[in-house]
Structure formats: structure tokens, C-alpha cells
């Protein structure tokens, strides 16, 4: 959590909470009450240190209804349906709360940090899943229902791996941190997290490199599809797994160039976020005061 003034994060507090495990081990209602309690308590600590805070913006993973501030569904947090995150937190904290999809918040933060040079931007967040955010003509584009740019759920493998969204073969089942772990496990029988697999890939482990190559191809293929639809030049990669970008970049760029229409080749500026978590924090905060 960060406290934002203008475009600066003036304080940052880190809290550890494993919402995924809570959702996998509790009934839906109990899981939601626990997520709310943990989040509200952390926010209370921030507000105690910064009583002048006027509004709260939250970037949350999942399909967010931006008008109601509800979590309609979250593929990596099973059981949550129409959870009233903004309403419940606003009641608990007595402050206005705005909830947006985490990747859209990060996209907006990246845009605002570079607003002097760009008007349009695609953000791809590589984490437990793969999120996407789109800025068009200086505005965040959430779609009419709020579910635009759910790029992790673009199907790259017909009848492929089952996904938390209910479909099969979604891109994030191959290109996210959990996707890389699944690929590595299918190749070696070993269960490792993506960060460990990235270290093995850097040391030349063939299976680890294959897992990241598959991730890079799935991600590049998806981005090529998206660019044919929205024709945006600036693409920012963020999220926890973006640390592994050096082991993905070559295969990613080769696949992207090959899958783009020829007139777009060489025109796409792909970079890794230099602001880390701050883009999402700044974006969520600024969206709460728009």
C-alpha cells in the first residue's frame, strides 16, 4: 500500500496476505470476510499514519465492475462473486473507495508517469495470472462492462489447460508465473516457483528455458493479436514475473515480429516497467480522484 501525493509515492507499507490460499481453504462468504478484515486492518494502519488521506484507490485482480466497485469474478480467487469491495471497505473506513482492475490501475500509473511523451499504452502484468490494461487517447479504457483487456484469458491452445475463468487453454495458463510452474512440472515432474525456474534458466537448464520459451511465445502471440485490434505503439511489461524478462525477451520479440502484420513490424516499443509496484499504486490512487 502506498500513500500518493501528486505523482509521488510519499510512503509505502508492505503487508503479507495470501488471498489465494484463503479462497482455496474457506467457504466463499468466510473467505470474503477474511479478505475484507485483512485489507481494512492494513488500510487502518495507513490511515492512522496519514489521516489527511481523502480517498482510497484499489487495484484488485479479477473482473471488476468499475461502476459498482464490485469484484464480479476473480479466476485466481475462486468463490468470489459480486463481492462489494468498494462498498464494504467504504463502510468500514468511512472514506470513498474506488476499485479498478489491478492491471488497468498499473496501465494508468505508467501512462501518468510518461504522459508528456505518450497518449496510448498497453500494459501487461505478469503475476499469478496475466492482466492487461489499455490507455487510449489519454484515457483508461475499461470497456462497457469493465472487462476490457482480459488478455490472460485469450485462448492460445484449443482445449488446453483448464483455467480459473472456466475456459481452457487461456494464455495465462502458459505465460503467468503459475503457468511457467505448470509447464516446468509437466517437463520434469518437479514443483518449483517461477522465480526458481528463472534462476535455473539463467544457468542454462534446458527444461527451465523451455518453460519460459513457451511463456514468451504465448505472450507474444497474444500481444500480436491485440496490436492488430488496437494499434498502439507503447507496450509496458510489469508484475512480479517481469524480473524474468531477460530469459523471455529474445524469444518474445522474435515471435512478436513474426506474428505482427508486416506494416507494424519494427514499430512496437516493448519495455519493462521501471517503476515496479509504484505504477499500480499511483494509478489506483489517481483513479480514485478522477
CB of 170 to Zn ion, least distance (A): 3
Strands 2-5 and 269-272: unpaired
Q: Which of 12, 6, 28, 5 is nearest to 276 (CA)?
A: 12
Candidate segments 46-54, 63-71, 161-169, 253-261, binder of Zn ion by CB under 5 A? 161-169
C-beta closer to Zn ion: residue 153 or 217: 153
**Measured between alpha carbons, how far is 187 from 202 in angstroms, rounded to an integer?**
17
Q: Which of 86, 163, 237, 284 binds Zn ion (CB under 5 A)?
A: 163
* Member of 64, 80, 98, 165 binding Zn ion (CB under 5 A): 165
- Of 158, 249, 257, 186, nearest to 212 by C-alpha is 249
The least distance separating Zn ion from the CB of residue 210, rounded to whole angstroms, comes to 22
175 binds Zn ion (CB under 5 A): no
Is residue 285 a contact point for Zn ion (CB under 5 A)?
no
Task: List the interface residues with Zn ion, window 120-159 (CB under 5 A).
Answer: 153
Q: Positive or negative, the Cα torsion across 116, 241, 278, 59? A: positive
101 neighbors 64 (Cβ within 8 angstroms): yes
The pattern of x and - marking residues 46 through 65 that bind Zn ion according to CB under 5 A reads --------------------
Between 166 and 206, whose beta carbon lies closer to Zn ion?
166
- CB of 163 vs Zn ion, minimal distance in Å: 3
What's the angle, vertex CA 28, arms to CA 26 and CA 32, rounded to 5? Answer: 90
d(CA 169, CA 280): 27
Instruction: Give yes or no for residue 170 binding Zn ion (CB under 5 A).
Output: yes
User: How many other CB atoms are found less than 10 A from the CB of residue 198?
Assistant: 24
What residue ranges bind Zn ion (CB under 5 A)? 153, 163, 165, 167, 170
Amino acid at each position: 500500500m502506498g500513500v500518493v501525493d501528486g505523482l509521488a509515492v510519499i510512503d509505502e507499507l508492505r503487508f503479507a496476505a495470501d488471498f489465494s490460499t484463503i479462497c482455496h481453504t474457506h467457504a466463499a462468504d468466510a473467505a470474503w470476510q477474511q479478505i475484507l478484515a485483512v485489507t481494512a486492518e492494513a488500510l487502518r494502519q495507513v490511515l492512522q499514519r496519514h489521516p489527511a488521506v481523502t480517498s482510497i484507490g484499489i487495484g484488485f485482480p479479477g473482473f471488476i465492475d468499475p461502476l459498482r466497485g464490485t469484484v464480479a469474478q476473480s479466476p485466481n480467487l475462486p468463490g468470489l462473486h459480486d463481492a462489494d469491495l468498494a462498498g464494504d471497505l467504504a463502510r468500514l473506513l468511512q472514506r470513498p473507495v474506488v476499485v479498478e482492475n489491478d492491471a488497468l490501475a498499473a496501465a494508468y500509473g505508467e501512462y501518468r508517469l510518461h504522459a508528456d511523451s505518450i497518449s496510448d499504452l498497453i500494459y501487461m502484468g505478469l503475476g499469478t495470472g496475466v492482466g492487461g490494461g489499455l490507455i487510449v487517447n489519454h484515457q483508461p479504457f475499461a470497456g462497457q462492462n469493465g472487462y476490457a483487456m482480459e488478455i490472460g484469458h485469450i485462448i492460445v491452445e484449443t482445449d488446453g489447460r483448464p483455467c480459473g475463468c472456466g475456459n481452457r487453454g487461456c494464455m495465462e495458463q502458459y505465460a503467468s508465473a503459475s503457468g511457467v510452474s505448470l509447464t516446468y512440472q509437466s517437463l520434469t515432474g518437479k514443483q518449483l516457483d517461477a522465480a526458481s525456474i528463472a534462476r535455473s534458466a539463467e544457468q542454462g537448464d534446458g527444461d527451465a528455458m523451455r518453460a519460459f520459451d513457451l511463456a514468451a511465445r504465448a505472450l507474444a502471440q497474444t500481444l500480436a493479436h491485440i496490436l492488430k485490434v488496437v494499434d498502439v505503439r507503447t507496450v509496458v511489461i510489469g508484475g512480479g514475473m517481469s524480473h524474468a524478462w531477460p530469459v523471455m525477451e529474445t524469444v518474445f520479440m522474435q515471435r512478436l515480429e513474426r506474428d505482427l502484420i508486416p506494416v507494424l513490424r519494427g514499430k512496437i516499443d516493448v519495455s519493462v516497467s521501471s517503476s515496479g509496484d509504484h505504477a499500480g499504486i499511483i494509478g489506483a490512487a489517481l483513479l480514485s480522484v478522477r
